[in-house]
Amino acid sequence: MDRYNHQGHAALEGKSPLEVYLSQLKAVRQAPENLPLYFRKKATRLVSKARTVSLENVLLQVPLGYAGKKIEIRYFDADSAEGFFDTKSIGRLPRVDLFANANFARLTPKRRDDR
């Protein structure tokens, strides 16, 4: 195969296939660096009052100000999720730290019968 690509051909006016390819290469446009971002999956989720969304059985944290609103999530997997609101990025959506969340002291007043 290597010999074929480097040997001149009558149909190519005596040029090798490699020479013809390289001479036309300037007509080929380079792919943008962020090309993989165009192939992410998309999902729409309603943000809970706790500012979380579920994606592929993973709970993700959403920034302040989006509770009760629908956001679009673009992702390859749950660890690469990026949130969008009105087509503007609101940033990466990290996993909820379930251990920290379970042990966080709540700011709710205690009921009388809890004392």
Domains along the chain with CATH numbers: 1-30 (no CATH), 35-102 (2.40.50)
DSSP secondary structure string for all residues of 25-43: GGGSPPPPTTGGGGG-EEE
Q: What is the pLDDT of residues 69-107, one digit of tens each?
A: 999 999 999 999 999 999 999 999 999 988 877 776 666
pTM score: 0.65
Q: Which alpha helices (DSSP H) does 1-115 contain, by range?
A: 2-6, 17-23, 98-102
Q: What is the pLDDT of residues 40-70, one digit of tens each?
A: 999 999 999 999 999 999 999 999 999 999 9
Q: Count CA within 13 A, CB hemisphere, residue 12.
A: 16
**What does the block give as tokens for 50?**
């706790």
Tell me what pLDDT residue 96 has.
94
